[in-house]
Structure 1
Amino acid sequence: MADPQALDPTQQSLWRPLRLLQASMDADIAQIYSEGQIEGLKPSFVMELLRLNACGPMTITELAESVGRTHSALSQKVAAMRAAGWVETIAGDDARSKKVTLTDNARSIIGRLAAEWRATEAAVADLEAELPYPLSRVVADIEQALERKSFHDRIAEKLAEDPAWG
């Protein structure tokens, strides 16, 4: 009988626990919103909403650059935030451009979102203080390792050794 992991390599994943942990923590933040009677808000929207509040209306390109995301990813997120009633588009500096801005609904809760952001960051700091090796240190160490050799190059080397790829 064939090895199940050979048939389905997704059965093994070193980073699945990290993704599941982040999803669980995001679910806890979503529960905070629900308990605070903030309906229809995804934790993944909050950085952009806070950035728009701090910087004012921005094009999707400007917003994407300010949060370190691609234009394509931000375009999809803005569409979802617009559908949920958190942002709208307004005329830009010329007739062809549009800017993303907060809706009145978003402006009415932005102070609460800033408070949640601060509380979440403080909770993460408390959590990291309990750990022998904080995740922020792990991330910095991974970034340094990837400066020495990119993730792309590391994957390409492994693929060169795998006859199924060649």
Structure 2
Amino acid sequence: MSPKEVGIGELLRHLSDLFDRDAERIYASMKLGVDYRARYTPVIRAFGDGPMSIGELQKIVRVTQGAISQTVKLMKEAGLLEAADSTDQRVSRVDLTKLGRSVKATLTAEWEMHIDVINDLEREIDVPLREALAEMISALERKSYFERIEEKTKTEGCGIR
């Protein structure tokens, strides 16, 4: 099957799996004192100077509420995050633990190297992939994929609905 015959979700999942698989091999070789998973990276990178709510993390990391909640739970179990005080009991807040801050400090230089490798990959394929993906996201935020399918169904009479 050619890439033009495959859905973008399939290609993105496969690309993500390729990156995550090798990133986890790299993290495992670093002896961080924790079983560090690639899915923790966007969460741990989101932290600045203090606690964050689950909603704040969700907006920064841009995943579903369920995905961020599951990742936060795993990170708490791994000792990277802990519950933080909140002035509003309806809002769960978390913060990096001492271990979490140490892991973030150690990985910061590593992530810079990863970005360099991604830059090299984009030059190799001669496609600014991150820019293209950001543009696709912006387009879908303006008009959802669902709306676009509905529109095509109405104008072209295609689909099974």
TM range (shorter): 0.7 to 0.9
User: What are structure 2's unaligned runs of at least 5 residues?
Assistant: none
Q: Which of residues 91, 97, 106 in structure 2 aligns to 1:103?
A: 97
Q: Which moved more, 1:83-92 or 1:23-32?
A: 83-92
Q: Does 1:164 align with 2:157?
A: no
Larger radius of gyration: 1
Would the alpha carbon gap of residues 149 and 65 (structure 1) be closer, same or farther in structure 2, given more than 3 Å must change? closer
Deviation at 1:23, TM superposition (A): 0.5
Residues 1:48 and 2:43 are matched in the alignment: yes
- Per-residue deviation, 1:162: 4.7
> What is the TM-score of this pair, normalised by structure 2?
0.77
Q: Tell me, yes or no, if structure 1 residue 37 matches structure 2 residue 31.
A: yes
Correspondence list, 1:1-166, <5 A: 13-15=6-8, 16-38=10-32, 39-52=34-47, 54-94=48-88, 97-143=91-137, 145-146=139-140, 149-159=143-153, 161-162=157-158, 164-165=160-161
Aligned length: 153
Superimposed CA distance per residue, residues 50-71 of structure 1 (whole angstroms, 9 cap, x where no aligned partner) = 222x231112122223333444
Q: Quick one: which amino acid aligns to residue 6 of structure 2? A: S
Superposition CA RMSD, Å: 2.6
Identity value in percent? 33
**How far does the alpha carbon of each residue in 1:79-136 deviate from its partner, in whole angstroms, 9 at most, with x for none?**
1211222111022235665420112221222212211221111110111111222212
The 3 A distance-change label for structure 1 pair 62 and 136 is closer
The normalised TM-score by structure 1 is 0.75
> Unaligned stretches of 5+ in structure 1?
1-11
Which 10-residue stretch deviates more, 73-82 or 147-156?
147-156
